[in-house]
Each structure stands twice: as structure tokens, then as C-alpha cells.
Amino acid sequence: MENEINDLRIKIDSIDSKLVNLLDERLEIAVAIGEIKKKMKLGVEQNGREDRVLERAMTAKHPESMVSIFQNIMDSSKVEQAKMAKAENFDMNLNVGVMGFGMFGQFLARNIKSRCNVEVWDIVDKSREAKELGVKFVSFEKIAKNKIVILAMPMESVEEILDKLKNKLEKGTLVMDICSLKGFVCKLMKEKLPSSVDVLGTHPLFGPQSAKFGISGAKIVLCPVKIGEERLSKVKEFCESLGLNVFLASPEEHDKQMAASQALTHFVGQAINQSGIKRVEWSTKTFDSLMNIADIIRKDSPEMVRNIQTLNPFAKDMRRKFIDEVKKIETELNCLEEKHE
């Protein structure tokens, strides 16, 4: 029986390979149609077209599943058309320097290199990794000459890098960071960098693990520190051309929300990991989701986990509220158990 399953899986793998090529070809055609629509000043969606595709899908042996699959295919095609339309608004001569070429720096360079010229730098020689990725590894002095400089190093390294960078930047440079806390880092950039440069805090709410299959549809928060409306609008449009959902917030507002969505999530995930709770065979989807969170957090560096809790001024209060409620629930349950004894 096991051999039979393996044989069938081999057939599925063969079909999947063909599907990947066919779907890739379909997306290329959809993008070409999008280019024609733009010239004709037509919208991405056209009445009746999707209905006809879905009606065809209904003739399959498994109509409901096939309709769902084709709906997803068409949604992906519309996303690619929209990204293509926005991407055409950008100057491909835009030079971007990524400082820090670790996991996230490489992930970042990989996702933006089709929209701009990317140079990278790291304290460690990573010229081989840069070459493999198709970007240029340059010196510290050279990276500082880019029109846009993105700080992609760990949060604890930002202050030291800013001290070395501040006198090497050219007038009008836009300096951005990708750290997960904005109050702490935005304050550093504002204090350390010269008044002649623009400053923008950013927080991509995704990373190499959570967005390993693509960043389209993911979220990013922009926290303006010192940047004009026109330039901020261009950054927003650039992010949207990558398929990202963009949100604007102050550093304080950002960190307040991160105390719940990030610090608390890491706190719970860390507790699960340290308690030794493991996956079980008869699990619910909710339990699987909880364990997925714990798995992601387990891969984060200890420094990152610590910074998320200690450098966010709102995290401590969030943890306290959570722990207080857990204690209340535990007390209530103990009282109920005592009544049943």
C-alpha cells in the first residue's frame, strides 16, 4: 500500500510541475493584458470575464474545488496587473543601499531589486552571497552615497552604525530602518543624523519565515520622522507596487499596537516553548495555529526576543494585564474544581 501511495504522489508531483509552468505562463499573459488595459485606460476588472471563467470551472468533476482554485488564480492575476501598473511609475535608476546583509537584509534585497539598483554592505564580507543574489556588495563609504539608505541590522547595532554613518551621508539622503520598534530607533535616528537628511521609520510586518512564499498582501507600517509629503507618497507608492498594504502611524502609536500584536504574541510563544508543550496528533486548527506561532518565535534570536519586550515602553503593561487575567481565570477554575470535589 505504501508503494502505491508513493507512486501516486510521483504522479501528483509530475502534474504539479506542469501546473507551475502553465500557471506561470498564464500570469505572464495576464500581465500582458494588463499592459494593454492600461493603454486603453481600462480598469483591472472587467464585468462578465470572471463569470465566464468560473462557469467553465463548474464543468469539472469537482466543481466547488475548481471554482475556488480559479478564483484564487484570477485574484493573483489582478494583483500582478496592479503591481505592474504601479511599478511603471518608478525610475529604475533609483539607487538603494541596504546596510546589514543578514537574513532580513538578503530577504529585503531579493524583494526590491526588480524595482531599483541595490547595493549592500555588512560588517562581515558577504560579497559571495551578494553575487549569488544578483546585487553589489560595496564598502561602508560607498553604501552611504546612495540616495536611499536602509538600516537592516539588529536593533542593538543601530546606534553604533548611526555614529559611523552620520558624517558620510550626502544632503537629501533618505535614511530608513526596518526595526520592529519605532519609538526607540526613530528617536536615535532623529538625534544622531544631520538635519540635511530625511528620516523615515518603517516596520515590515513580515519576514523571511512568514513571507517565504511572497510578500504580496503583507503589511508594512511607515512612521514619518522628518520627510516631506511628496517623498513619503513616493515611498508609499513604491511599497504598494510590491503588493504591500501600507499603514501610516506615529512611532508611539506603532509601539502601542506592537505591545499587543508582537510583544504579547512573543511572550505567549516563548512561554509555550519553555514549558515544553509539544504538538499532538489529535490537534485542533486553533492549537496548530498556536504551535505555529511558537515555532516561528523559537527561530528568533534571543537579542530580538529580549528587545521586543524591554525596548517597547508599552510591553510591560501589556504583559502585566495578561498575567493578571490569567491568574483570575486560574483562581476561578480552582474554585469551581473545589465545589465539585
Burial class (CB in 10 A: 0-12, 13-18, 19+), 84: middle
**Residue closest to 174 by CA, chosen among 203, 199, 140:** 199
Q: What is the CATH classification number for the domain harbouring 138?
A: 3.40.50.720
Domain boundary among 249, 272, 304: 249
Q: 283 and 138 in one domain?
A: no
Q: 317 and 206 in one domain?
A: no
What's residue 84's pLDDT? 62
Q: Are 220 and 254 in contact (CB under 8 A)?
A: no
Q: 61 and 101 in one domain?
A: no
What's residue 83's pLDDT? 65
Number of domains in the chain: 3
Q: 193 and 107 in one domain?
A: yes
What's residue 47's pLDDT? 61
Q: 230 and 144 in one domain?
A: yes
Domain of 279? 255-340
Q: 232 and 117 in one domain?
A: yes
DSSP string, 189-249: HHHHS-TTSEEEEEEES--TTTTTT--TT-EEEEEEEE--HHHHHHHHHHHHHTT-EEEE-
Q: 158 and 13 in one domain?
A: no
Residues with pLDDT less than 70, the chain = 41, 43-47, 82-93, 341
**Residue closest to 92 by CA, chosen among 120, 109, 112, 117:** 117
Domain boundary among 64, 87, 110: 87
What is the spatial distance between Cα 228 and Cα 68, in angstroms, rounded to a whole number? 44
What's residue 91's pLDDT? 53
Q: 49 and 134 in one domain?
A: no
Domain boundary among 87, 119, 151: 87
What's residue 181's pLDDT? 95
What's residue 302's pLDDT? 84
What's residue 148's pLDDT? 97
What is the spatial distance between Cα 143 and Cα 201, in angstroms, rounded to a whole number? 19
Q: What is the pLDDT of residues 197-251, one digit of tens each?
A: 999 999 999 988 788 888 888 999 999 999 999 999 999 999 998 889 999 999 9
What's residue 200's pLDDT? 98
Q: 191 and 140 in one domain?
A: yes
pTM for the full model? 0.76
Q: 226 and 121 in one domain?
A: yes
Q: 226 and 105 in one domain?
A: yes
Q: 262 and 232 in one domain?
A: no
Q: What is the CATH classification number for the domain harbouring 45?
A: 1.20.59.10
